[in-house]
Structure 1
């Protein structure tokens, strides 16, 4: 069909960029790798003798090896069923540290 009302890719198939429901093995491995890299940086800065508020807060966070898989790959979300959503659905999840849940939430 031609003209102003011709069919487009979006009209045929819905969203052009679809978000998978679960994280695949590669994404999970990259998350673990990223968490380990952050742990190494925090440890190196702590050994250098620098003292600041951000470092003291970072030292209180659990390390990658201490985290449960549920905490590694999901985050708290008050709007989702079960109050958890996949980490890959959070915007900029590669740049923000989300290792803890809100106080009182133990699930």
Structure 2
């Protein structure tokens, strides 16, 4: 048919973006791995600076304010803050891959 009654993807299949409402076990494992890699990078920078007899305020602040992956509660590991959401939290699986990498 022509015009406004033409079938489209949302009209034919309901929701266009079908996202599961929770993370799968492999998704959680990948997220934990990403968080561990961040901890590893910060540790590497810290040891490299200590070997040269230097220190950085940003790394000291990171250690004082940010919990390590094993210290984090699941709510912080698998969700992010979003002021537009009802309870101000949004699952990391519902955000774009590029945005997720920018936040880490």
RMSD: 2.2
More helix by share: 2
List, as ranges, runs of 4+ consecutive aligned residues in structure 1 with deviation greater than 4 Å.
Answer: none
Q: CA deviation at 1:79?
A: 4.0
Gaps of 5+ in 1: 98-107
Q: Which residue of 2 aligns with 1:65?
A: 70
Corresponding residue number in structure 1 for 2:81: 76
Superposition TM-score, scaled by structure 2 size: 0.73
Unaligned 5+ segments in structure 2 are: none
Does 1:37 find its partner at 2:42? no
**TM-score normalised by the chain length of structure 1:** 0.72
**Quick one: which of 48, 53, 56 aligns to 2:60?**
56
C-alpha separation between the residues in 2 aligned to 1:35 and 1:25? 15
Give the Cα–Cα distance (whole angstroms) in 2 for the partners of residues 89 and 9 of structure 1.
20
